[in-house]
Structure 1
Amino acid sequence: MDKTVSSSERFDSIPEAALAWHRAGKGAALATVTETWGSAPRRVGAQLAISGDAEIEGSVSGGCVEGAVIVEALEAMEERAARELEFGVSDDDAFAVGLACGGTIRVLVEPVGSAMPEEMLAELVEARAARQPVAYVANLDSGARRLDREGHAERFRMDRSGFEPEGRIFVAIHNPPLRLIVVGAVHIAQALVPMARIAGYDPVLVDPREAFGSEARFPGERILNHWPDEAVAEIGLDQRTALVLLTHDPKLDDPALHLALRSECFYIGALGSTRTHARRVERLTETGFTEAEIGRIHGPIGLDLGAAGPAEIAVSVLAEMTQVLRRGAA
């Protein structure tokens, strides 16, 4: 059984919304945070899509300047030209536009069909749908735009948009959405899956035991009632995927581990005590895996928070996944 929920219902669909509005004849623009200073509420690369009817998707701040950006975007659509905006700290006037957090941001507004070619936006949307990393490169001096599927390795790895060292060339990184494969529809999974979705992951639950991996226990989630190795092979393991094994049953965990240890997934975590993990290491060593490959497994799983109960263990797992994603493995 494979129950799926549309990714558009869960993750940002900002470029997709802009393309849809443009093709519907409403007009559209994309606003992108290009620089920040101080306590900026959104990171560089954050986007807001605006339609010609003033509909919006996404954000470039905590709500402080969106109104002003919408007005500028509507004017930019009429002029069919890009605009660069800057917002600093708001003054004592409660109605002044600015950031209350004390930071400063710069925002690039690009009307679709002029500053941002429709064909280029469509190609970007296609790449996102296919989970292909792509960089949108804008030369703010010449007005040239392009998509890069190669190069920018460090930016892709760090998921970091920004200006190149030379010239006013802005690179917006569009990585595939983070994905989490959870093997084992146990109590920890019931807490971890919704937490991970809130944190920006696209979770997939794998358990051949239909009594465990059921719609009743995980309403609205994508569930694969396949053997884990078959499910993992079907889903795929890339640099934006985390694998969490919660069954501590070798016949379920080990086949998935065999695939994960020779994949590019950024995180592998396996539930079990220190003794359970030691036996796991022995089995993998006997199978032919190297010490370096086995060392990729985080086991016992999760940061040592002194967690008690399924929900707290889920917090510790998500915290460790975040640490590895942002700082790399220890």
Structure 2
Amino acid sequence: MHDLTGAPETALAWHKAGRKVALATVVETWGSAPRRTGAQLVIAEDGEMQGSVSGGCVEGAVVLEALEAMEDHLSEGPSHKLLTYGVSDDDAFAVGLACGGTIRVLVEPIGSALLVDMLSELVAARAARTPVAYEVNLETGARALREDSYPDRFRLDRSGVEEDGATFVAVHNPPLRLVIVGAVHIAQHLTQMARAAGYDPVIIDPRPAFASLERFPGETLLDDWPDAAVEAAGLDTRTALVLLTHDPKLDDPALLKGLASDAFYIGALGSTRTHAKRVQRLTEAGMTEAQIARIHAPVGLDIGASGPAEIAVSILAEMTRVLRKGA
């Protein structure tokens, strides 16, 4: 499973331990900058750091600026620093950023710039798997946490500066999850591919011959009946549900849970004829036409896939399309 201890959690823990701490965040990049917007580095007053804003290119310079910011927190004006490093900047050139890349880095001391209560609220939202955006005005220092704003940024996992040039939005999305019902051959391939794409897979199958650690080494396996297991796993806006058993006794209970959830993707294996029967059963079970329309079936993009591995490719491709572009 994903380690949910990221930069905000580390910054809060270090602050609670009595240390002066600053959080550095990449707010903009141009050219071949080595880290994406939103990348973060935590710096403590003794120089200890965790994370990265440039893959090593400008970390030393950022740390020095952060140490100064922690000492200058009583000065007038915004208590954050906005730094720019690029090929035209002698300081950045000296530390190795000479490949045409330019980055802007926001440095925020905890307690003066980024208030502890707001950081605690952000950490709590991340722990609860609540998508949240951290918004900061780079000119005035005004800050807020937003849950219902910036839908496109949430969908694309894209932090960045708004068109006004002053508002930076850091998107904090929960890690992606994939819940697979049916520990079949396709699932073996899909699990590996999904993990490489950043998903935490969970495989559900009450049949011990299928759901075994020998077939899925190191993976999370749930052997409860699918509806109970799906409910236990939890389905939210960052979770995909894929049903692969081809057995209505196993697929349908999970589908009913999935259709009542906020899962961003629901896919079910089976031919067009099989899906027509599935639609009839779900209708009889009380599902609406709009709910049933959420199911991607036959599952996966039509790429002419042949064999379990290629079918897994088609499923992951369809999941990605829905995640990034919508259904």
TM-score range, shorter chain: 0.7 to 0.9
> Is 1:98 equivalent to 2:91 in the alignment?
no
Task: Measure the CA separation in 1 of the matches of 2:239 and 2:199.
Answer: 9
Q: Which moved more, 1:36-45 or 1:135-144?
A: 36-45
Shift of 1:256: 1.2
Structure 2 partner of 1:51: 44
Which residue, 54, 61, 64 being the options, matches 1:61? 54
Which residue, 262, 267, 271 being the options, matches 2:265? 267
Which amino acid in structure 1 is aligned with residue 68 of structure 2?
Answer: E
Q: Which moved more, 1:313-322 or 1:300-309?
A: 300-309
Q: Which moved more, 1:244-253 or 1:88-97?
A: 88-97
For the 8 Å contact 2:155–2:324, the answer to whether it is kept is no
Structure 2 partner of 1:226: 224
For the 8 Å contact 1:192–1:318, the answer to whether it is kept is yes
Task: Measure the CA separation in 1 of the matches of 2:83 and 2:112.
Answer: 18
Task: Measure the CA separation in 2 of the matches of 1:183 and 1:158.
Answer: 26
Structure 2 partner of 1:317: 315
Going from structure 1 to structure 2, the CA distance change for 1:153 and 1:253 (only over 3 Å counts) comes to same
Which amino acid in structure 2 is aligned with residue 241 of structure 1?
Answer: T
Task: Measure the CA separation in 2 of the matches of 1:185 and 1:192.
Answer: 10
Which amino acid in structure 1 is aligned with residue 96 of structure 2?
Answer: V
Shift of 1:111: 1.9
Going from structure 1 to structure 2, the CA distance change for 1:263 and 1:191 (only over 3 Å counts) comes to same
Q: CA RMSD in A?
A: 2.9
Task: Measure the CA separation in 2 of the matches of 1:97 and 1:39.
Answer: 13
Task: Measure the CA separation in 2 of the matches of 1:99 and 1:285.
Answer: 61
Q: How many residues align?
A: 321
Which amino acid in structure 1 is aligned with residue 58 of structure 2?
Answer: V
For the 8 Å contact 1:91–1:98, the answer to whether it is kept is no
Task: Measure the CA separation in 2 of the matches of 1:219 and 1:53.
Answer: 41
Going from structure 1 to structure 2, the CA distance change for 1:320 and 1:39 (only over 3 Å counts) comes to farther
Going from structure 1 to structure 2, the CA distance change for 1:308 and 1:72 (only over 3 Å counts) comes to farther
Unaligned runs of 5+ in 2: 74-78
Which amino acid in structure 2 is aligned with residue 265 of structure 1?
Answer: A
TM-score normalised by structure 1 residue count = 0.84
TM-score normalised by structure 2 residue count = 0.84
Identity of aligned residues (%): 67
Structure 1 partner of 2:190: 192
Unaligned runs of 5+ in 1: none
Shift of 1:128: 0.7
Shift of 1:253: 0.7
Structure 2 partner of 1:72: 65
Task: Measure the CA separation in 1 of the matches of 2:285 and 2:236.
Answer: 23
Going from structure 1 to structure 2, the CA distance change for 1:18 and 1:310 (only over 3 Å counts) comes to farther
Task: Measure the CA separation in 1 of the matches of 2:44 and 2:321.
Answer: 37
Task: Measure the CA separation in 2 of the matches of 1:95 and 1:46.
Answer: 22
Going from structure 1 to structure 2, the CA distance change for 1:39 and 1:280 (only over 3 Å counts) comes to farther
Task: Measure the CA separation in 1 of the matches of 2:179 and 2:30.
Answer: 36
Going from structure 1 to structure 2, the CA distance change for 1:212 and 1:283 (only over 3 Å counts) comes to same
Going from structure 1 to structure 2, the CA distance change for 1:279 and 1:40 (only over 3 Å counts) comes to farther
Going from structure 1 to structure 2, the CA distance change for 1:201 and 1:57 (only over 3 Å counts) comes to farther
For the 8 Å contact 1:13–1:57, the answer to whether it is kept is no
> Is 1:23 equivalent to 2:21 in the alignment?
no
Shift of 1:55: 4.0
Write the mapping of 1:142-291 to structure 2, written as runs, cut at 5 A.
Answer: 142-166=140-164, 168-291=166-289
For the 8 Å contact 2:235–2:258, the answer to whether it is kept is yes
Q: Which moved more, 1:223-232 or 1:286-295?
A: 286-295
